[in-house]
Chains A and B, each alone.
Chain A
């Protein structure tokens, strides 16, 4: 019986104007996003090869340029990739200098995320899920069909389950089809390596996207069962969506900074520059006799400054992540970016790797520029493996998504049981 209702729901949706509009919008936007982000990745790869070339030391040139390769999965979740691949100059005397990032010239739209798959799922798929669900109950009541169906020998539980199954299938099946086509098109394009590792990560991303969509669908059904009219349900659903998708994560991280205040990164940078100038000044004034001065001492102090700040930053980030998890959109972002290797934990790994590199190559960096000094090693940064990413937080976030999804489903089903069909 449940399956019969699911089938009826699915067919109902497939024939509706809503379905066609939504799916057309989704297909167009997924295609556009895939193309735009793929081109963006290509441009960044070109930039990367320029940097690789430039990283080779010229005669007498000091410092080593550390270059990080853009991640192919950044096409689907750009995250912090732009920040991570900006290029760094590492020296024994002035520490690690981050270069200007390769970002579009118009930076005011940094307010919105880049139009990647994550964005499409986060914003559009959730909206479509709500649009499909908001009149699931209230609409049938208004049409009078709810009384009719319930007068047949069918339990409310079966009805609810059938409606949810059918509705979800109507959203997710076209989504998977379009995504599959887009992936196929992308995999055949030159210049992007999508191996089995990438596809495994993508599979987990898709799982998260499905959970997220189901969550919003259930939320829509819940609102639909609670509202008196479907117009009212739509209003509530839209505003709820705006609050969950935009407001909570964007206000949440500012709240975290209130609770755990953090000096700005620019102030830290100034402190480090001053430390450098002071160290050189004292060292030259003492004519290099002062054992406490010199590059070793500077690097000790520099590392301490970085370490202290990073620890505080990590604390704030953890708190901020915890607060933002109230919004499924934020949780989804964590899953996507962590899997794509463009997330918060990967950025932390990169900072640590740069610091490690500097410490390990300090003698070579100090001697650099002297005659016959061996050139310092090249900086290599290996991305976290899939298993590492999974255990490093993705599983937790997936769990949060699954749990909240189940909770909202249960709530929605419970509300539907109490609906007055008149």
Chain B
């Protein structure tokens, strides 16, 4: 009996105008976004390669210790699963002319299409599932058979979900095909697993909205009422709660000014540092004043004498070492001071972030977005991981550069921070995306939430239907 009911639902939906219209729209949108995103991926990739080359080129000619920091930054290649955009590839790089269009109309990727179009699809398929049958008079007919109400509802759910799943899988496979054919990206086993995970999350998400529509169709006697209720429920869950939540969180846990913090940091690590360093250096130089046979240590004469006379050389070396120790100490202290500023800022950010997440859980859309981006390795945790890797790389690179500097100095004592420093043997940044198991571990929580939404709404639908007057 159950099987027949599901089959009947399937047929009903597949032949309906609403299914055909919705499927067409979904297919077109997923394909269009896949088309565009795959070109984006291709371009990002080409740009990534070109930038590494450009960096190499630059360093081969102009590398010097003093200004390596701003030029050598770690970046990650674009994620191969181009269908999920998520967070930017370059964490925390503000630029003067970032594309304002993308800010006005953020590009639509697969999770966005699912979040808006497929959830609407679920609503449209389900809003008159029960009361529509009552209006047509078929509900009494069906219930006159030996069918329990729960069975009927479960069959309706299963039938609708099968149709939704079929439409989704068809659209998303078309999208994946377009991406694989056009972008030249290769999806490893992990990528395929992640892709399957994103699809699963999307389907569970759609299920929540289908259940919501079922619930309203059993709560309201007329379908003209349930359509309103479902659409407004959808508006609230999809269009209001997610994008209001960060703003509400910001009011309860405001952030200190980022720009002022940056400006302070810069002052601490440059002007103030220079001031302190120079003062320390002067003190050291004062100590050595008159101990050189030649007066000014920066003159041509001095360089010659230092090179020729071992005693003078030792003395000079000693002074330089002391000066460098002074600078190293000042640098360390100022860096620490700047780090403390940063940490306070990050603590506050974290607090707001977590509050924002908690508020956003009042809708099933955020868990979908979190799960998809984490699975695609473009989400928050992945970005944290990338940042940690970038930091580790940065400190390794710093060690390498300082070592190289010392080497040059042992060859030529007068070698300075503004002299060309060959860094061609530097370590390269190799981004290791989180393994699939890790991504899944993070996404699990969000899957559970989505499943919870589904269960709660379906339960609501069952309870409403048990009390439904079929006349």
B-contacting residues of A (Cβ < 8 Å)? 17-18, 21-22, 25, 29, 32, 36-37, 39-40, 43, 46-47, 50-51, 54, 58, 60-62, 65, 79-80, 83, 86-89, 96-102, 104-115, 119, 123-124, 127, 131, 135, 231-232, 234-236, 238-239, 242-243, 246-247, 249-258, 261-271, 273-274, 276-278, 280-282, 284-285, 306, 309-310, 313, 316-317, 320-321, 324, 330, 333, 337, 344, 347, 351, 354
- Contact residues in B for A317 (Cβ distance below 8 Å): 100-101
The reply to whether A105 and B356 contact each other, CB–CB distance below 8 Å, is yes
Per-position binary interface string of chain B over residues 91-129, scored 1 when its CB falls under 8 Å from any chain A CB and 0 otherwise: 011111111111111111000110111001000100010
* Chain A residues within an 8 Å CB radius of B232: 21, 25
27 A-B pairs whose Cβ atoms sit less than 8 Å apart in the complex = A36-B248, A40-B247, A43-B254, A51-B259, A54-B263, A61-B271, A80-B100, A83-B103, A99-B258, A102-B258, A104-B247, A106-B357, A109-B369, A235-B17, A239-B25, A242-B25, A250-B105, A250-B107, A261-B43, A270-B54, A276-B67, A277-B68, A278-B61, A306-B96, A309-B97, A317-B101, A324-B105
B165 to chain A, nearest CB (A): 19
For residue B39, which residues in chain A have a CB less than 8 angstroms away from its CB?
Answer: 258
Q: Is the CB of B258 within 8 A of A269?
A: no
A114 with B67: CB separation less than 8 A? no
Instruction: Determine how close the nearest CB of chain B comes to the CB of A218; give it in whole angstroms.
Output: 20
B70 close to chain A: CB less than 8 A: yes
From A98, A231, A284, B95 is in contact (CB under 8 Å) with A98
* Complexed CA–CA distance, A309 and B68 (Å): 24
CB distance from A19 to the nearest CB of B (A): 10
| A278 contact set on B, CB distance < 8 A | 58, 61-62
Is A80 within 8 A of B260, CB to CB?
no
CA distance A316 to B99 in the complex (A): 9
What is the bound-complex CA distance between A114 and B240, given in angstroms? 10
Check A101 against B112 for contact (C-beta < 8 Å): no
Whether A347 lies near B250 (C-beta < 8 A) is no
- Interchain CB contact under 8 A, A232 and B251: no
Interface pair A21/B97, CB less than 8 Å apart: no
Contact between B105 and A252, CB atoms less than 8 A apart: yes
Question: Contact: A280 with B47, CB < 8 Å?
Answer: no
B248-262 near A? 1/0 per residue, CB < 8 Å: 111100111111101
Q: List the 9 closest A-B pairs by CB distance, nearest first.
A: A87-B259, A104-B246, A99-B259, A105-B353, A265-B95, A112-B243, A250-B108, A277-B67, A100-B258
> Is B257 a contact of A101 with CB atoms below 8 Å?
no
Residue on A nearest B73 in the bound complex, by CB: A270
Chain B positions within 8 Å of A265 at CB level:
95-99
Do residues B95 and A51 form an inter-chain contact, with CB atoms below 8 A? no
CA distance A410 to B37 in the complex (A): 37
Residue of B nearest to A254 (CB): B36
Question: Is the pair B257, A102 in contact by a Cβ cutoff of 8 Å?
Answer: yes
Task: Determine the residue in chain B with the shortest Cβ distance to A312.
Answer: B97
Q: Is the CB of B225 within 8 A of A17?
A: yes
- Complex Cα distance A236/B25, Å? 10
Chain B residue nearest in CB terms to A270: B51
Determine if B29 is an interface residue (Cβ-Cβ < 8 Å).
yes
Contacts of A99 in B (CB 8 A): 94, 258-259, 262-263
Q: How far is the CA of A46 from the CA of B254 in the complex (A)?
A: 10
B275 touches A (CB below 8 Å): yes
Residues in A whose Cβ lies below 8 Å from that of B107: 250-251, 253-254
Which residues of the partner chain B approach A112 to less than 8 Å between Cβ atoms?
A: 106, 239, 242-243
Q: Are A101 and B94 in contact (CB under 8 A)?
A: yes
Q: How far, in whole Å, are A111 and B272 apart by their CA atoms in the complex?
A: 40
Q: Is the interface of B mostly helix, strand, loop or mixed?
A: helix
User: A127–B244 contact, CB under 8 A?
Assistant: no
Report Cα–Cα, A37/B235, bound state, in Å.
19
Q: Is the pair A111, B47 in contact by a Cβ cutoff of 8 Å?
A: no
Q: Which residues of B contact A267 (CB under 8 A)?
A: 47, 50-51
Q: Tell me if B364 counts as interface (CB < 8 A to partner A).
A: no
Interface contact B246-A109, CB-CB below 8 Å = yes
CA distance A251 to B352 in the complex (A): 31
* Contact across chains for B40 and A269 when beta carbons are under 8 A apart: no
In the bound assembly, the distance between CA atoms of A232 and B18 in angstroms comes to 7
**In the assembled complex, B231 has its CB within 8 A of some CB on chain A:** yes
Q: Is B370 an interface residue (CB 8 A)?
A: yes
Q: Does B170 sit at the interface, judged by CB under 8 A? A: no
| A308 → chain B closest CB, angstroms | 11
CA A123 to CA B104, docked complex, whole Å: 15
In chain B, positions 426-466 with a C-beta closer than 8 Å to chain A are none
**Assembled-state Cα–Cα distance A40/B95 (Å):** 23
B243 touches A127 (CB 8 A): no
Other than the given A115-B247, A231-B223, A281-B67, 6 more pairs (CB < 8 A) read A17-B228, A61-B267, A83-B103, A105-B255, A270-B55, A310-B97
User: CB distance A51 to B104 under 8 Å?
Assistant: no
In the bound assembly, the distance between CA atoms of A238 and B127 in angstroms comes to 13
Residue from the list A96, A105, A115, A239 in contact with B352, Cβ < 8 A: A105
B250: contacting residue among A43, A276, A313, CB under 8 A: A43
Given contacts A83-B103, A306-B97, contact A254 B259 (CB under 8 A): no
Query: In the complex, how many angstroms separate the beta carbon of B153 from the nearest chain A beta carbon?
Result: 21
Q: Let me know if B257 and A47 touch, CB within 8 A.
A: yes
| Cβ contacts under 8 Å, A344 to chain B | 100-101, 104
**A243 contacts B239, CB within 8 Å?**
no
B259–A86 touching, CB < 8 Å: yes
User: With A and B bound together, what is the CA distance between A247 and B26 in angstroms?
Assistant: 10
Tell me the minimal C-beta distance from A310 to chain B in angstroms.
6
Q: Which of A17, A39, A106, A114 has the most CB of B within 10 A?
A: A106
B100's partner among A83, A102, A306 (CB-CB below 8 A) is A83
Asked whether B159 is an interface residue with its Cβ less than 8 Å from the other chain, the reply is no
Which residues of A lie under 8 Å from residue B117 when comparing CB positions?
Answer: 242, 246-247
**Is B90 in contact with chain A by the CB < 8 A criterion?**
yes
Q: How far is the CA of A18 from the CA of B228 in the complex (A)?
A: 7
Question: Taking the complex as formed, is B227 at the interface, i.e. its CB lies under 8 A from any CB of chain A?
Answer: yes
Q: Which residues of A contact B106 (CB under 8 A)?
A: 110-112, 250
